[in-house]
Amino acid sequence: MGLVNLNISPRSTKGKNANRRTRVAGKVPAVVYGKDQDSEMVELDSMEFKQAMIQAGGGGSAIFKLNGDAENIALLREIQTNPCTDAVLHVDLMAIPRGVPVTVAVALNFVGVPNGVRTEGGNVAVSLNSLDLSVRPSQMPDAIDFDISELELNDKIFVKDIPVEVGEVMNDPEALVLNIKPPVLLVVEEEEDEEGAEGEEGAEGEDGEAKSEDSKDGDSE
């Protein structure tokens, strides 16, 4: 997840009625606040905000370049939505001072097909899809690429094995990221022959009993 552009416009009115009119006009009421600065009432275009959230991965730690300015960065802090329609009612954005690092989840992009999968039929079992990276917003990568093409069966990759070019990884270094599992072999039990044998034994037993009864009848005559 990298920095996503988000256009904001000043908002001069506040209150329930004013906010309702803002939403009817296709806008979302919002506020930008931060340390050592006054809160600023703004509004967002509803459709643009939805697209920006999709680009940011839809998470609660999205970071935006307000009006496309790399020096004007804000972290998404809260989204209020209508519980019935999921429509966005209000957005809180926290301004980030220039040069101050923030911790956000950055997606892991696994590159290539492992040898253990390509030649031996193994499977890639992913435990972590992202890393928590503490980094300056202006240096935020869109994703962290990691080549897995040389991995063999039973190989394991931990957080400490993932190189990052900027920032500091905040995850446990010993946390498992992925491993290459051997193929699963299915064992089919052959039960039909046993059932057939039992059926034959049962039939023989019934015939034997029938013959026994016939012989008894003959003796009695």
DSSP string, 96-142: E-TT--EEEEEEEEEES--HHHHTT--EEEES-SEEEEEE-GGG--S
Whether residue 96 is predicted with pLDDT greater than 50 in this model: the reply is yes
Pair 69, 108 in one domain: no
- Of residues 176 and 198, more confidence is placed in 176
Pair 48, 118 in one domain: no
- Of residues 122 and 138, more confidence is placed in 122
**In contact, 159 and 173? CB cutoff 8 Å:** yes
- Domains identified in the chain, total number: 2
Domain span at 71: 4-96
Q: Nearest to residue 71, comparing CAs of 95, 42, 47, 37?
A: 95
Pair 76, 61 in one domain: yes
Whether residue 199 is predicted with pLDDT greater than 70 in this model: the reply is no
Whether residue 198 is predicted with pLDDT greater than 60 in this model: the reply is no
Under the banding of pLDDT at 50, 70 and 90, the label for residue 204 is low
Mean pLDDT of the chain: 84
pLDDT, position 221: 45
- Of residues 175 and 62, more confidence is placed in 175
Pair 90, 110 in one domain: no
Listed residues 96, 130, 164: the one ending a domain: 96
pLDDT, position 191: 60
> Strand order in 168-169's β-sheet?
144-147, 102-111, 130-135, 168-169
Whether residue 207 is predicted with pLDDT greater than 60 in this model: the reply is no
Pair 34, 87 in one domain: yes
Q: Is 215 helix (H, G, I), strand (E, B) or coil?
A: helix
Contacts of 40 (CB under 8 A, 6+ apart): 10, 31, 32, 33
How large is the average pLDDT for residues 115-130?
Answer: 96
Phi, psi of 165, rounded to the nearest 5 degrees: -85, -30
How large is the average pLDDT for residues 204-212?
Answer: 52
67: CATH = 2.40.240.10
Pair 70, 137 in one domain: no
Pair 16, 83 in one domain: yes
Q: Nearest to residue 131, comparing CAs of 178, 169, 76?
A: 169
Listed residues 79, 96, 113: the one ending a domain: 96
Taking the C-alpha atoms of residue 175 and residue 112, their distance in angstroms, rounded to an integer, is: 22
Pair 58, 128 in one domain: no
Q: What is the pLDDT of residues 7-28, one digit of tens each?
A: 999 998 888 889 989 999 999 9
Q: What is the pLDDT of residues 130-166, one digit of tens each?
A: 999 998 877 888 889 999 999 999 999 999 999 999 9
pLDDT, position 220: 47
How large is the average pLDDT for residues 99-123?
Answer: 92
Contacts of 180 (CB under 8 A, 6+ apart): 114, 116, 117, 122, 123, 124, 125, 151, 152, 153, 154, 155, 156
DSSP state of 165: S
**In contact, 75 and 102? CB cutoff 8 Å:** yes
- Of residues 85 and 220, more confidence is placed in 85
pLDDT, position 185: 76
pLDDT, position 55: 83
Is 45 exposed, middle or buried, given 0-12, 13-18 or 19+ CB atoms closer than 10 A? middle
Supply the pTM of this predicted model: 0.63
Listed residues 64, 96, 128: the one ending a domain: 96
